[in-house]
Structure formats: C-alpha cells, structure tokens
Chains A and B, each alone.
Chain A
Amino acid sequence: GAGVSQSPSNKVTEKGKDVELRCDPISGHTALYWYRQSLGQGLEFLIYFQGNSAPDKSGLPSDRFSAERTGGSVSTLTIQRTQQEDSAVYLCASSPGTSGRGLYNEQFFGPGTRLTVL
C-alpha cells in the first residue's frame, strides 16, 4: 500500500516569502508528526497531532510556524516570512498507534521536503 507522501519534494524560496508543505499520511493512521532535519543534525520535533485532540505544538520554533490537519488526514505545515535558518528537510511521519508487528506507536516517515531559503 501507499506510504506517507510529501509535497513538494524540493522547494526553493526567497527570504520573506511564505511556504506551505503538504503531508499525506497513511490512511487510517491517527497520529501525525512534523520534524525538521538540518544538515548533519538529528530530527527536531515540531508538532504532533493525535486524533481529534488538540495538537502538541511545543516544538514549533517561532510563531512563523503553524500546522493544521484537516479531517484527521492531510496536514499542511506553513512557514511565514521565511528566513535562511529555516532551510532544512521537513519530515512528516504518521502512526497507527500500534502496528501489525506489535510495536508500540511505530512511526512511518515520508521522504521529506527539502526547503531552501535564499
């Protein structure tokens, strides 16, 4: 079946512009996560959606970042007034809560969107 998809795969923008990054999770997955991965760095948590609960926004680095998840499925991460330090790969992951492997809360990652702010 289809995995997590993200679009666009690459985005080049100018400083000060707004960008929207899209994530299509695996159908039926109740949890959705956004992470940021800078060159040579680990994964920085941004935001977490779980079902109909209020999202955990504790990882968003500034009020220029926001995300929404419509209908419990597709999610959009919006970065307003982009800065050069926003350049990174933005990864989305979804989770069913439990998986067929009996593993707790396994996350399935998309391929990421590489954002470059000039």
Chain B
Amino acid sequence: QQQVKQSPQSLIVQKGGISIINCAYENTAFDYFPWYQQFPGKGPALLIAIRPDVSEKKEGRFTISFNKSAKQFSLHIMDSQPGDSATYFCAASWTGNQFYFGTGTSLTVIP
C-alpha cells in the first residue's frame, strides 16, 4: 500500500509561472512532511518541511500548504525558473521512524 501518493508524475511550466505538486497521505500518525529536490545524478536534498501544527510554511519562492483534515499537502514554487527543473519528492514520517516517499514529480521549467 502506497503510504504517500504524489501527483502529477510530470509537470511543464513556463518561466515565471507557478508550479504546484500535490501529495496525500493515509497515516494520521505522520508528524513531519518534507519535500526533497533531486537533480540528475545527485541524491535528493531537503527543500522545505512542515509539521502538522501549521497550515503553511514559506521559504523564499517555495511554499508548503498543509490540510490536516484532508490529509493532503502541496508544494508551490512561485516565479518558477529553469534552474528549478528537477524531480521533487514529498515524504512523510513520524517520530523516530522511517520515511515514506512519494513517487516523484519531474518538473521542467521552459525558458
């Protein structure tokens, strides 16, 4: 059973546009929701993360929106740039336990 479901699988956005990636989870015990960015040939790197006690977290052009009742969270990339082209993974975890990752979204930002 997929603990974290991610969509879309791929996304193409024009430079300056907004990229939105969505994730949904099942286990209400999850208390940590990070997003990772992965460039080809590299390991994933933490981009931004949120705890369920807040509904939104913003860092620069990156924002996580969190809906606890719907068990959904999303990543918004404002003013998307070609350098943002990468694969993005959402994940979920709870204290001291393993992480469950989504299947990834390949983002392409067209100049």
User: Which A residues form the contact surface with B (CB < 8 A)?
Assistant: 4, 33, 35, 40-45, 48, 50, 56, 58-59, 91, 93, 103-112
Contacts and interface: CB of A to CB of B under 8 A. Distances in A.
B99 A109 contact: no
Interface in B11-64: 31-32, 34, 36, 41-46, 49, 51
Given A42-B102, A42-B104, A50 B96 contact: yes
B43 A56 contact: no
Nearest to A58: B98
Contacts of B103: 41-42
B108 interface: no
Contacts of A35: 101
A42 B32 contact: no
Interface of B: 6, 31-32, 34, 36, 41-46, 49, 51, 89, 91, 93, 96-104
Contacts of B97: 48, 56
9 contacts: A42-B101, A45-B98, A48-B98, A103-B34, A103-B46, A104-B31, A109-B36, A109-B43, A109-B44
A-B residue pairs, 4 tightest by C-beta? A109-B43, A42-B103, A43-B101, A42-B101
A109 B51 CA distance: 21
Most buried by A among B34, B89, B96, B103: B96
B59 to A, nearest CB: 10
Contact of A111 (B43, B46, B49, B98): B43
